[in-house]
Amino acid sequence: RKEVEQDPGPFNVPEGATVAFNCTYSNSASQSFFWYRQDCRKEPKLLMSVYSSGNEDGRFTAQLNRASQYISLLIRDSKLSDSATYLCVVNPRYGGSQGNLIFGKGTKLSVKP
Residues that bind other proteins (CB under 8 A): 31-32, 38, 41-46, 49, 51, 87, 94-106
Asked whether 64 and 71 are in contact (CB, 8 A), the reply is yes
Measured from the CB atom, is 81 or 97 closer to other proteins? 97
Measured from the CB atom, is 46 or 80 closer to other proteins? 46
Q: Least distance to other proteins from the beta carbon of 18, Å?
A: 26
Measured from the CB atom, is 8 or 16 closer to other proteins? 8
Q: Least distance to other proteins from the beta carbon of 61, Å?
A: 17
CA–CA dist 85, 108 (Å, integer): 4
Q: Is 96 helix (H, G, I), strand (E, B) or coil?
A: helix
Asked whether 45 and 103 are in contact (CB, 8 A), the reply is no
Which H, E and C letters describe 1-22, residue by residue?
CCCEEECCCCEEEECCCCEEEE
Q: Least distance to other proteins from the beta carbon of 105, Å?
A: 4
